[in-house]
Chain A
């Protein structure tokens, strides 16, 4: 199906796109038909800077399983990394 559901997350950081590094303030997350990945549905994340007009984005389209694995490993990296830096 085509869904209009987009989960918006305020983020703080930078992303590197075709024109180099840019600041980002928003991650738009949705699960729908991908544009490029050969999947029926993909978990897509568009990193944009709405404050700058969101004219550029850094995009990924992931399978549902790999997206879940990524979420798990983001949390694992944060836990181990923050623990190491606190030591």
Chain B
């Protein structure tokens, strides 16, 4: 079932440390209860594609929100702010966790909420989604789309902003996890995906991984040559099936 009649707007949410920032929020207009989903953007920033993804979720019957994780680093357009954040080494993991938890609280506070909330992230946002699901208690489902650096072999890459590799927090993961990956991806490599799966299996976690041939990184992104129509269509179908299974009220 689709919900082409939807409302989409920029809203203010309360994130980490009580800081108030902007987020993009879309939901069906129909007077029903809907599951929620937090959409985590990739490192370049809060771009047009991630905004489109928020509306896509609303179209498919979710109340979706994407917090602008760089709102503290303004003013400026999202691309300029993203460049500024990149030059300063990214945003701290604990701040992202606080912002995502705040966006989840925003969704649960809405009159249309069915109470269930998932997290999905793409690229570095996939890593953030995995991290958040290990750090936030009340996550009902999580989707990691090709998040790189979940495993960190070179520990010199860990720093004050990213002090722990998410894989080392997997014990704390309680939400069911869906992972989508391209077999031609360089980060995460298929070997990293296999090692992540081995940890999930060893710890008895509820997960499903899907690996796609002839697909690299960001194969959902219609604005890039990496887009793979067939694999992306299957991936979206798996995402919606997974979320409907785990977010039913």
Set B45, B90, B148, B226: member contacting A40, Cβ < 8 A: B226
Question: A40 contacts which chain B residues (CB < 8 A)?
Answer: 216-218, 224-226
Name the one of B90, B218, B226 contacting A4, with C-beta atoms under 8 angstroms. B90
Q: Chain B 48-63 against A: per-residue CB contact (8 Å), 1 yes, 0 no?
A: 0000000000000000
Given A2-B123, A2-B124, A54-B84, decide whether A33 and B42 contact each other with a Cβ distance below 8 A: yes
Residues of A near B224 (CB, < 8 A) are 33, 38-40
Interface on chain A toward B: helix, strand, loop, or mixed SS? loop
A2–B87 touching, CB < 8 Å: no
**A43-73: contact bitstring with B at CB < 8 Å (1 yes, 0 no)?**
0101010000011110100000000000000
Q: How large is the interface on A (under 10, 10 to 19, 20 to 34, 35 or more residues)?
A: 20 to 34
A1 to B187 CA separation, bound complex (whole angstroms): 5
Kindly identify which residue among A8, A28, A35, A56 contacts B44, using a CB–CB cutoff of 8 Å: A35
Among the listed B43, B185, B216, which residue makes an inter-chain contact with A32, where contact means beta carbons less than 8 Å apart?
B43
Q: Does B89 contact A (CB under 8 A)?
A: yes
Main SS class of interface, B: loop
Asked if B44 and A6 sit within 8 Å, CB to CB, the answer is no
Asked if residues A35 and B82 are in contact (CB atoms below 8 Å), the reply is yes
**Shortest Cβ distance from A11 into chain B, in angstroms?**
14
Bound Cα distance A54, B74 (Å): 11
A56 surroundings in chain B (CB, below 8 A): 80
Interfacial chain A residues near B90, Cβ < 8 Å: 4
| B225 A35 Cβ-Cβ under 8 A | no
A28–B82 CB distance below 8 A? no
- B residues within 8 Å of A by Cβ? 42-45, 47, 75-76, 79-80, 82-84, 86-87, 89-90, 123-124, 148-149, 185-187, 216-218, 223-226
